[in-house]
Amino acid sequence: MAGIIYYRPAFSVKCCPPQNDFLQCLSLHLPNKTGISSVVYTPNDASYLSILLSSVRSLRFRSASTPRPQVIVTPFEESQIQTTILCARENGMQIRIRSGGHDYEGLSYTSQVPFVVLDLFNFSEVAIDVDQKTAWVGAGAIIGQLYYRISQTSKTLAFPAGACPTVGVGGLFSGGGYGPMLRKFGLAADNIIDARIIDVNGRILDRKSMGEDLFWAIRGGGGSSFGVITAWKLKLVTVPETLTIFSVGRTIEQNATQLVHKWQYIAPNLDEDILLSISIGPVNSSGAAGGKTIQANFNSVYLGGVDKLLPLLEQSFPELGVRREDCTEVSWIQSALFFGGYSIQVSPEVVTSRNPETRSTLPITRYYFKAKLDYVQEPISIKGFDGMWKLLLEREANMGELLVVPYGGKMKEISETALPFPHRAGNLYKIQQLAYWEESGAVASERSISWSRKLHDYMTPYVSKSPRASYMNYRDLDLGVNNYNGGDGKTSTSYAQASVWGLKYFKNNFKRLVQIKTKVDPTNFFRNEQSIPSLYSKSSSKNN
């Protein structure tokens, strides 16, 4: 099927001229001009909305008021991507590239100007070479598909990437990609050894032909600023057949504040085989004032058996009181189920579905949400945490959360210039701040987003400074956006404007990213509200 393309002979589209011209261009340049129903979708197509919404992971962007693409292209092969780029350039249409649809601000499928969504879900093949311990994975695959395929091939091979199974590898890897094994193996991007990308001129490039500068840029600098990545080659890692997981909860009445405070001195310095993260939020409690309290859940994976883990914890963090009965020995794929919000008893195949019938318990997959992120470089005081708890208690039970992940281990050994992702040595941990809500509508949304901003403001004295750093894969448009020139919809390429958010994501690596962008996409064709700018760009509606 991948080699057969069907094209609609005529377009019954009532829309702006650029869209009609774009569709006409596709019909002229794509081969086998007999129909386009399996590749190109417009709002007049019955399946348009289902395809659009199938990978809209944030409920904030599922409403009818969210700007929608004039066209969705779902290519089966690279030549169709080449043609899409050509026609979009010729007709002044922006391209938004979607892999899994988890962009926190919806930039892979929304825009304020006429645009095309290039949805890569058909590029989902995973090919594993066990002997070489490598894998090629299509940029449209989700990490659950990658994990499952690896687990069906070997009991001791794995890949260090994210937790949520429906996240697409195209965006995750190009932004860095952290997960439960980051202290042992670093980021996903640290373990990528080749890639295929289609540039603004339609050239298909691999690592050798793109050169080391561009290969550096797309591993942590955001691939969608530089072209369309179609596949990644991964260096797989070796893990034991047996891992150990546990999750223990402590409320503030059970000394949670003191435990979280001490955790700061311990977790970043533990053996690199251990990840001990924390999720903190308000929960109902009949015995607490106001009927709510704060609970900290200490979640862990250890690359080894429980008999080795317990002595390490007893020596380093006896106050946590982890018992043998709290621990479960699992395979690597079962640990992925655990961190992905599933019971380890379910079939691992559940993680291969983009829209699984068995829903994950991860709140981010169930509720409207707004997220912010900070890096902590000095331990926070007890008083500082008390202030966070006060703000969390303003939320309904389970509707506010701090996700706290320690660094150290491999992360402090890698230079901050090795990849565009700069957040390495010097960071104790990162702390993601999340507001969740269930009610639709602008009022509920603004109320929760305002709360997230208030919490973020409170965090200011306790987190990194100059710049106050953040992580591109937790995109936050509050940090700043690229300008638009008047009403013509063309993105400004001001270095000064983009550096407002760019330095927070990339620190001093931002300057090198801009230099590479200027070289490979000088007219800034691949752009969005937080794309890397080109120094020479003056975007025009034609040939840009």
The catalytic residues are 474
Taking the CA of residue 504 as centre, how many other CA atoms within 13 Å lie in the half-sphere pointing to its CB?
Answer: 25
CA distance 215 to 508: 18
Question: Which token pair is 124?
Answer: 């989902």
Q: Which DSSP string do the residues of 384-438 spell out, in sequence order?
A: HHHHHHHHHTTSPTTSEEEEEEE--GGGGTS-TTSSS----TT--EEEEEEEEE-
φ, ψ of residue 14 in degrees (nearest 5): -105, 95
Give the angle subtended at the CA of 438 by the CAs of 397 and 469, to the nearest 5°. Answer: 75
φ, ψ of residue 65 in degrees (nearest 5): -80, -10
Q: Is the dihedral of CA 218, 349, 60, 394 positive or negative?
A: negative
CA distance 294 to 504: 30
Please state whether the peptide bond connecting residue 467 to the residue before it is cis, i.e. omega within 30 degrees of 0: yes
Q: Write the DSSP symbol of residue 23.
A: H
CA distance 344 to 377: 34
Question: Which token pair is 489?
Answer: 């919809």
Question: Which token pair is 428?
Answer: 């104790």
Q: Do residues 146 and 159 touch, judged by C-beta distance below 8 A?
A: yes
CA distance 235 to 52: 32
CA distance 70 to 115: 6
170-201 as b/e: b if 16+ CB within 10 A: bbbbbbbbbbbbbbbbbbbbbbbebbbbbbbe
Q: Do residues 140 and 120 touch, judged by C-beta distance below 8 A?
A: yes
